Amino acid sequence: MAQRDKIEVDPLFASAFKKYETKDYAGSYLDYSGYLLKKPGDGSAMYNRGLCAYELKDYKDGLTNFTKSIGLGRRKPDAFYSRGLCHYKLHNYTIAIADFDTAIALNTNYAKALTYKGACLNELKKYNEALEVLNQAVEADLNYESSYYFRGITYYYLKNFEKGLADCNASLAIKTYYETYFWRGLHYLNLRRYSESITDYDTVISHDSKYAKAYYNRAIAYYDLKKYSDALTDNNISIELDPLKPEAYYNRALVKYELGKYKEAEPDFNATIDLKLNDAKHYLWRGVNYYHQKKYALAIADLNKAIQKDNQSETAYYYRALIKYYQQDDKGVIEDCSSALAIKQSSDTYYQRGISKYNLRNYQEAIDDFNESLKIKPEYKLAILERGIAYYQIEKDQLALTDLNKAIELNPNSSRAFYFRGKLKKYMNDLVGSCTDLKQAQTLGNDLAADELVKNKCQ
């Protein structure tokens, strides 16, 4: 936006013009007001006073002045554009588009009007329409940084982060605004270029230390880099600056969860749901957090809610199975593990289902599940151990010995492995080896080994 070009001989008008050029917008506004008392029909002076009001962020007054200026006959593209900008600032996006359309009709290649029409369409979530208009804006003026900036935002919502990143770079190459760094940081974040995202948010925060969303986004980048202490610090600041943002509580809860601070995470999970952020994942992770605190009734309630909201939540079924295991409900474990495995195959889920099948003395089925677990994770120590024990139960001694040997190789402190290998060696006529293993099991804390040592008459 700019003032009219002609030189006005009236000294009050000249003073107003000069003050505006030196950014004394309040003084300029007063001088234009004085001038308009003498010449109330001057549409250009009315327009210029509207520019002062806009710069003073009094958008309603700017709107009034631009409307009066148009009514006084100043029906020029910049008048409609400027009024459209005031509507944009006042969040009157549909009305703003009408003014920008008028400006564009009067000046087809009006890059600024095209740009802010695109910005309004972004706000109305009409991203495909916005992209079309912003493409025209860029073509109309390749050196207008805001066209690239707003198109970068459009690409973000269209999930085209590479093109959005390119537009942010193009905008910054022309002029640097910290808001552009903010959006570029978001593109980097979604492209998993976390370190670059953090650098951009460092820039934003150095410009505005109270920018809550910048701390929030930087915390996400730190979280994904597993820099949980840094993530926690940024989440704390984000919540201090914006205590009503439920996503910030949820993210902070996840950080505390990763740090093993389950009790501290609980109030944040509660705040998340209290603030109406209650999708399946929010109940899921609060339930998992309850599980780690052994609050099984609360955990089950949340996991049930998560499954009700999303019956494809493999993690919810898995953790509900773990709770049922501690409740000695092996049939329930098998049912939930089977539901989880129908969604996603997991070494842990096969293992857990195998354990419950073993408990129900379905040894061959347990072995089958341990086999599936080991296909996914060949060095899974517990699966090797428990498969060896299951082989022992069905008297496949050589297979059992192979697995128990491997289990001890992987974990020399496994009292359970030494205990069952000691029992197995007795049946394989290796009494010396049996006694040696049982003594080691006892040394490692296995309470059952003492009875076996007596039975074997080990010295």
**pLDDT score at 68:** 97
Our measurement of the distance from residue 394's CA atom to the centroid of its chain's CA atoms, rounded to an integer in Å, reads 49
Residue 3 has pLDDT above 90, yes or no: no
Span 231-251, average pLDDT: 97
Q: Taking the CA of residue 369 as centre, how many other CA atoms within 13 Å lie in the half-sphere pointing to its CB? A: 23
Cα gap 180→39, rounded to integer Å: 42
Cα gap 183→63, rounded to integer Å: 29
> Residue 308 gets which letter from DSSP?
H
Residue in this structure with the two tokens 């740009």, named with its chain if needed: 115
Q: Binning pLDDT at 50, 70 and 90, where does residue 194 land? A: very high
Cα–Cα distances in angstroms (integers) from residue 214 to residues 33, 196, 242, 407, 408, in the given order:
40, 14, 11, 49, 50
**Token reading at 374:** 């080991």
Span 162-190, average pLDDT: 97
**46-60 pLDDT, tens per residue?**
999 999 999 999 999
**244-290 pLDDT, tens per residue?**
999 999 999 999 999 999 999 999 999 999 999 999 999 999 999 99
Classify 328 in phi/psi space as left (phi over 0), alpha (psi -120 to 50) or beta.
left
**pLDDT score at 295:** 97
**294-315 pLDDT, tens per residue?**
999 999 999 999 999 999 999 9
Residue of 6 and 424 predicted with greater confidence:
424
Residue 291 has pLDDT above 60, yes or no: yes
Helix, strand or coil, per DSSP, at residue 68 = helix
Closest CA to 79 of 149, 182, 2: 2
Residue 2 has pLDDT above 70, yes or no: no
Cα gap 445→438, rounded to integer Å: 11
Domain ranges of the chain: 1-75
Span 146-168, average pLDDT: 98
**pLDDT score at 457:** 86
**Token reading at 302:** 């949340």
Cα–Cα distances in angstroms (integers) from residue 425 to residues 414, 428, 434, in the given order:
17, 5, 5
**pLDDT score at 1:** 61
Closest CA to 210 of 243, 237, 172: 237
Cα gap 173→171, rounded to integer Å: 5
Cα gap 370→387, rounded to integer Å: 6
**202-230 pLDDT, tens per residue?**
999 999 999 999 999 999 999 999 999 99
Question: For domain 1-75, is the CATH number 1.25.40.10?
Answer: yes
Secondary structure (DSSP) of 187-252: HHHHTT-HHHHHHHHHHHHHH-TT-HHHHHHHHHHHHHTT-HHHHHHHHHHHHHH-TT-HHHHHHH
Residue 6 has pLDDT above 60, yes or no: no
Q: Binning pLDDT at 50, 70 and 90, where does residue 459 land? A: confident
**pLDDT score at 5:** 46
Residue of 459 and 195 predicted with greater confidence:
195
**402-413 pLDDT, tens per residue?**
999 999 999 999
pTM: 0.87
Span 15-37, average pLDDT: 95
**308-344 pLDDT, tens per residue?**
999 999 999 999 999 999 999 999 999 999 999 999 9
Q: Binning pLDDT at 50, 70 and 90, where does residue 8 land? A: low
